[in-house]
Structure 1
């Protein structure tokens, strides 16, 4: 899945609806979408830096209608080059020194937020932070950036258009 910080409103809406169905819980989807979009304002603040890694599979996963995914891919292409965002994509063809697993964030090297099917875990113990920083460092070496990341996104867009 595309990371929340870079999701379009329509893409986020579909993700929230899928999770509400999975958990059989009523959810104020529109409120969740608004909150997610509001958090994205940090992408445009001077002095902030977001370093984001994504698996190429997220660019192809039809968790939403193709038209929504196309707009999402355009959004990703648009953040490449922002001075506040470093977007790395781990391509299908990249050699990996660690297997794919769940998504996570590390905030200021003091908190790791780990996303799972049923919960979001906030870890602040030194051993967990060290482990997630090692995972990050390892995956970062398999990612492509800049024009190479743009090429991966464009390839996903072409594959989507072929459907």
Structure 2
């Protein structure tokens, strides 16, 4: 499984958002973007993480960071999740897991002491030129956004 590191080119992608509109990483060229991968919309950990991003979005945006969340969920499920939690940043659908795999955010992981294959909760900061600035794998759902803000001095 490929793991990205600072300095690598961020794999480009175009994925549908919760409304079925295509969103590309290239749309954010010239701006820093936090791209985070999560296992499933509307689950407790993913809801906590998404709400943390929502609650910190103004400060991240003010510091020049956009936020994109990506999961294997279909757009209709993402729309329900967005509306239920009043999420104000794009949630993107990667049902084929191509982008998840390109970022190393899908593969073997340990859950409750067992090795399983699934989404690896991961966060990346992509710089203005499309390079990976930060690559964090196996992040915790709770407290992750606060740690990311400290790491980014936001």
TM-score w.r.t. structure 2 length?
0.30
Comparing both chains, which one has the higher relative contact order based on Cα–Cα distances under 8 Å and sequence gaps of 6 or more? Answer: 2
More helix by share: 1
More strand by share: 2
Q: Which has the larger radius of gyration?
A: 1
